[in-house]
Amino acid sequence: MAVKRRIIKERVPTPERPPEERVKSFVEVNLGYTFELAVKEAERCLQCPYDYAPCIKGCPVHIDIPGFISKLVEYRDDPDRAVKEALNVIWACNSLPATTGRVCPQEDQCEMNCVMGRVGDKVNIGKLERFVADYAREKGIDEELLFEMVPRIEKKGQKVAIIGAGPAGLTAAGELAKLGYDVTIYEALHEPGGVLMYGIPEFRLPKSIVESEIDKLRKLGVKILTDHVVGKTVTMEELMKEYDAVFIASGAGTPRLVDAPGINLNGIYTANEFLTRVNLMKAYLFPEYDTPVKVGKKVIVIGAGNTAMDAARSARRFGVEVTIAYRRGPEDVSARVEEVEHAKEEGIKFVYFVNPVEFIGDGNGRIKAVKFEKMKPLDERDGRGKRKIVGTGEYVTLEADTVIIAIGKHPNRLIVNTPGLKVERGKIVVDENLMTSIPGVFAGGDAIRGEATVILAMGDGRLAAKAIHEYLTKKRESKNA
């Protein structure tokens, strides 16, 4: 396709709701591209050759990015066809593009080394991916494509159990179902989706998107048993007996707490509790929805990852003053750039180099203020490339009637205690095929990585599905031999 192209330096912007409007509601902030705008942005891509394209190398699941982008341009006169072709390319590597297009840290992955960056703005790959997925969903193109695949599914007669319905579990379930396995997901909560459902807020990832992904899985024949807590409702041993293979995708659900006096005062939430109340239980609609949440007037969020931004921006939507307190400096904030920008636009304050040492109560069991030690950075860097920090012995106290702790999580203890399952520092140990120390039991996502990303969890889901397929193929063949 040798179309002569003029280089367009600037990104085609995606419309966003203005900050004044969005801090009053939980509706999605970024409105995404229309077909016309998507084509315009797609035209900016230089169509680097597959073997060279730095965007493909940067994407953890190696989507053929120029490949899908070119379809939008090629079939510009037939939007449905363009989207269907593009989706087909994306689906070869990624089954949740509506989600990843919204939540991937694109600036560190696919967009990081985009060649367009040398002459102007990088191509907005994330928003294009999101566009394809959204358009396909709205027009039913995704189901059409899915059901073109379904008649070809050949039943294998083997059963796989998946623990956890987050991105890792959902992805593996889809892949395995397409390969003809009988798949059952065990999910502890009342809704499947994992962090996509209980953690990431509606204004960043509308829940209807996650629901539609799950709907498609059900149509592929995947069974989802909610309210089933593995380790309690069923044991790992029972699953291992009943199924031919097991995939553990239970995430990193247990919140870490700040080890400082006063941590159990009222008004101190973990980000998980706060976000679960707000997102999963819809506490922002109390009392129409029955679950309460208290946001007070002055909120301090401790931490500066995606979880902290989500908690801060959710709290801000209750019309209160919100401050993010981080023990390191601005260059080490780990959240996606877009979220940090949105947080700042929405009026959230950032305080750097402060580490909480005490939570001060009001005498009635409620939080009143947080005492922080001021920190200072050193020139040295730690293993993750972040600047080391030390205490200065100076303190500062900030008032707060609500504190949200967002300093990370460890894997869920209920599974980790399985006899024979090798675990190091709370994370399940796996080999290069994601098999654990127990044959036939595989694991992936945050359960093996600690807190990571949606796309890595998904990538693990795909890899595990492939490995499970190989493992079960051998099992079938040895039985037949």
Partner 1 sequence: MYKILEKREIAMRNTWYKVHAPHVARKVQPGQFVIVRAFKNGERIPLTPVMWDREEGWIVLIVFTRGKTTARMAAELREGDGILNIAGPLGNPVEMKKFGKILAIGAYTGIVEVYPIAKAWQELGNDVTTLHVTFEPMVVLKDEMERAVGRHILETVPIDMTKSFPENMKNVTKRLTEKARELLEKEEWDLVFMVGPSGDQRAVFEVVKEFGVPMKADLHPIMVDGTGMCGACRVTVGGEVKFACIDGPEFDAYKVDWDVLISRSGYYTDMEMMAMQEYMKALQGGGQ
Residues that bind partner 1 (CB under 8 A): 188-190, 198, 225-229, 232-234, 253-255, 257, 263-264, 266-267, 269-270, 272-273, 276-277, 281-282, 285-292, 294, 364-365, 412-414
For partner 1, give the closer residue by CB, 114 or 407: 407
Considering only residues 449-478, where is the footprint of ligand SF4 by CB under 6 A?
A: 455
Q: Which stretch binds ligand SF4 (CB under 6 A): 47-55, 198-206, 221-229, 275-283?
A: 47-55
For partner 1, give the closer residue by CB, 226 or 397: 226
Q: Are 231 and 414 in contact (CB under 8 A)?
A: yes
**Residue 59 contact among partner 1, ligand FAD, ligand SF4, none, beta carbon within 5 to 8 Å by kind:** ligand SF4
Q: Which amino acid does the sequence have at 452?
A: A
Q: Does 225 participate in binding ligand FAD (rule CB under 6 A)?
A: no
Q: Does 106 participate in binding ligand SF4 (rule CB under 6 A)?
A: yes
Considering only residues 93-132, where is the footprint of ligand FAD by CB under 6 A?
A: 103-104
Instruction: Please tell me the distance from the alpha carbon of residue 110 to that of residue 104, in angstroms, as a whole number.
Output: 9
Q: Are 329 and 299 in contact (CB under 8 A)?
A: no
Closest distance between partner 1 and the C-beta of residue 237, in Å?
13
For ligand FAD, give the closer residue by CB, 195 or 369: 195
Instruction: Please tell me the distance from the alpha carbon of residue 197 to that of residue 207, in angstroms, as a whole number.
Output: 6
Q: Does 253 participate in binding ligand FAD (rule CB under 6 A)?
A: yes
Residues in contact with ligand SF4, shown as a per-residue x/- string from 274 to 293 under the rule CB under 6 A: --------------------
Using a CB cutoff of 8 Å and minimum separation of 24, what contacts does 144-149 make? 144/84, 145/84, 145/87, 145/88, 145/91, 146/216, 146/219, 146/220, 147/219, 149/178
Q: Does 174 participate in binding ligand FAD (rule CB under 6 A)?
A: no
Closest distance between partner 1 and the C-beta of residue 253, in Å?
4
Q: Are 181 and 159 in contact (CB under 8 A)?
A: yes
For residue 297, what are its two tokens? 């007037």
For ligand FAD, give the closer residue by CB, 108 or 148: 108
Distance of CA 82 to the CA centre of its chain: 27
Q: What are phi and psi of 387, to 5 degrees?
A: -70, 135
For partner 1, give the closer residue by CB, 117 or 365: 365
For ligand SF4, give the closer residue by CB, 13 or 117: 117
Binding footprint of ligand FAD on the chain (CB under 6 A):
103-104, 163-169, 186-189, 194-195, 199-200, 229-231, 249-251, 253, 275, 306-307, 310, 336, 412, 414-415, 445-447, 451-455, 457
